[in-house]
Structure formats: C-alpha cells, structure tokens
Amino acid sequence: MASTLQLRRKASRRAQGLSFNSNRPAWKEPASPLYNTIKGLIIGGITLTIVIPILLVVSTSLADDKQLIAAGGFVLWPTNPTFAAYEAIFSGEFMFRALGVSAFITAVGTFLALFTTITMAYATSRPVLFGRPVLLLVLFTLLFAPGLIPMFLMVKQLGLLNTLWSLILPSAFAAFNFVVMRSFFMNIPTELIEAARIDGASDFMILRKIVLPLSKAVIAVVGLFYAVGFWNAFFNAVLYINDQTLYPVQLVLRNYVVQGGSMAEAIGVATTPPPQSMQMAIVVVALVPILVVYPFLQKHFNKGVITGAVKG
C-alpha cells in the first residue's frame, strides 16, 4: 500500500530524474552495498544449488559418447545433443509400461481422491445430520496413524496386493487436503445456497451448479497436490507390488539409478549409449511431468489457499 509520503517522494524523485527503485517504501533506508552483496550471495547460492543438479542431469542425458568420456562422466552443457539414451530406454516395453502405470495411477487416483474429498468436504461444511461426528472421524486421522503392518494386512485381506488398486485406494483421501477444501467451502456465503434452495435445487444440484464453479482455484490446487502425490508415490509400490510389469516410474528410478541395477537386462538392449546417460534419462523422465505441471500449480500458491487452511 503506497502511503502519501511515498507517493510524494516518488513524484519529487521523478521530477529530479531519479526514478529508480520505486518499490522501496519511503521510510526504509537505502540498502547498503554490504547488505546487498550478502543478500545476492544467499539468493544466488540457493539458486545454483537447485539449478545445477537439474541442469547436470538433463545435460548428461543428452550428451553423446565422446563428450561424456572426455568429461569423465558428467557434462553441464551437451555440445552435440543426442536422444540416443532416450531411444535406448524406450526401445523395450519396460519403460513404456512403467510410464503407463504411473500415468494410470495419477489420473485415476487424482479423480477418485478429488471425488471423495469434494463430497466429504461439502457435506461436512454445512450443519447437517451426522456432520460433526463425521468431521471428528476425519480429524482424528491427523492425530494417529494405523501403522504400516496393519495397513499391509488390510490391503492383503482386500486382495489388492500386486494390483494397481493398491497404489490408488489407500491414498484416495488425505485429511490435509480435506481441511483445505472444507475451509474454502465454508467461506461460500450461505445466502447463495439458501437462494438456490428456495428455487428448488437439491443438494447435489447446489454442489454441481453453485459450489464447484466457485471453487475452481481450490480444486485445481488440491487436484495438483493429489496428482503430484500419486506420481511421486514410491513406498506403497515397494510394499504392495512385486510384479515387475506393474512397477511405476519411481520404483524403476530406485532400482536402476539409486541402487544402480543393470538396466540392460531389464530393458533387453545392448547398451550402446553409456549407462550414465541412460540413468540420467530415467531421472529426466520422472522429473519432466512435475516440471510441466509446476507452473500451473505455482500460480495459485500466493492466493492464500494454503495458508488460509493452516489458520483453520
């Protein structure tokens, strides 16, 4: 908020031909070079620690044989970019199948999770019969966790072991996302709902025609949280999946990059590109969907959706 003092100061500066740094409030002393240097170092340093590993991985996956050998395994910029590593990892069915599994889990899981979260959040956001006890049932999950072994036994009992549903159903609802969604629904004015009710709309109709169109932003954010969660899910796959053909991308990443298993066997190709760049190519395959979705997600962060939920 620009104060009058600030505006006047800005105007006088402009008159003197000194119209720079106009965002600084009038009462704030100009930054000294020392502070600016320290701040610049912090900001720049953090930027580099995030950018360099990602750049390293992408570049190495694209680098050709000769450059890799000359550079000793890693390059920060590919001089002759080649897609040989990607062709190699996608030459067998293996990687395609892993991508398909991850895409399926992410799409179906996000849809189901949004469905349970939206219906549950809307039903408990209005004072209805059983609303309070059901809400307490949900909030209790924030306090206690059933534990890994009982969960495993339950999934086994339901016959979900070694099926894709074991990666979807146990994560099809998250109390945190429920709280975000519900606190948004509670801020929708009662008058709107009342008016629709008088016009004869049922609860389903109100949810579909009034509440959902008003909640596009929060649905986008929660949906993307779920999608990222499903894409990144790793431990559930370790726990519930033995069958190699059902491996999601994260598990492939663990087995062939983190643990350094031999990819040539699994994929069934003689390794023409160096294993290093093939490993990097798998990392990039796991990374790219997040990088693609991220800008959309990012747009909503500062709207207070997340912090609003934390305040309760």
Partner 1 sequence: MSQMQQELEEELAVTAAAPEKPKGRKARARAKKGKAPLTHDGLPVRQVTWQARMRRDKQMLLMMIPGVLFLALFFYIPILGNVIAFQDYQPFLGIGGSDWVGMQNFVDLYFNPDFWVAFRNTIVLALWQLLFFFPVPLGLALVVDSLISTKIRRWFQSLVYLPHFLSWVLVIALFQQVLGGAGLVNNTLRDFGLDTIPFMTNPDTFPLLATIQLIWKECGWAMIIFLASLAAIDGSLYEAAAADGAGRWRRMWHITLPGLRSIIVLLLILRIGDILSVGFEQFLLQHDAVGPGAAEVLDTFTYFAGVVGGGWSVGAAAGLAKGIVAALLIWGANSLAHRMGEPGIFQKKVS
Interacting residues with partner 1 between 114 and 143 (CB under 8 A): 115-117, 119-120, 122-124, 126-132, 134-139, 141-143
Give the C-alpha separation, 296 to 284, whole Å. Answer: 20
Give residue 307's Cα distance to chain centre. 17
Which residue, chain included where needed, has tokens 């760049």? 277
Q: Which of residues 28-47 bind partner 1 (CB under 8 A)?
A: 28-29, 31, 39, 42-43, 46-47
Least Å from the CB of residue 190 to partner 1 = 4
Neighbour tally for 113: CB within 10 Å: 25
Stretch that binds partner 1, among 9-17, 21-29, 85-93, 211-219 (CB under 8 A): 21-29
Give the C-alpha separation, 64 to 84, whole Å. Answer: 8
Q: Which of residues 158-177 bind partner 1 (CB under 8 A)?
A: 158, 169-170, 172-173
Least Å from the CB of residue 220 to partner 1 = 15
Least Å from the CB of residue 218 to partner 1 = 16
Chosen residue from 17, 146, 200, 213 binding partner 1 by CB under 8 A: 146
Chosen residue from 80, 245, 272, 298 binding partner 1 by CB under 8 A: 298
Q: Which is nearer to partner 1, 1 or 15 (CB)?
A: 1
- 287 is a contact residue toward partner 1 (CB under 8 A): yes
Q: Give the torsion sign (CA, 185, 188, 190, 194).
A: negative
- 285 is a contact residue toward partner 1 (CB under 8 A): no
Determine contact, residues 279/207, Cβ cutoff 8 Å: no
Residue 62: which residues within 8 A CB-CB, separation 6 or more? Answer: 78, 81, 82, 83, 85, 277
Chosen residue from 188, 210, 220, 239 binding partner 1 by CB under 8 A: 239
Q: Which is nearer to partner 1, 84 or 166 (CB)?
A: 166
Neighbour tally for 121: CB within 10 Å: 25
Neighbour tally for 220: CB within 10 Å: 15
Stretch that binds partner 1, among 10-18, 81-89, 92-100, 295-303 (CB under 8 A): 295-303
Cβ density class 7-17: b for 16+ within 10 Å, e for less: eebbeeeeeee
Stretch that binds partner 1, among 10-18, 81-89, 113-121, 262-270 (CB under 8 A): 113-121
- 52 is a contact residue toward partner 1 (CB under 8 A): yes
Name the percent of the chain in helix, strand, coil, to the closest 5. Answer: 70, 0, 30
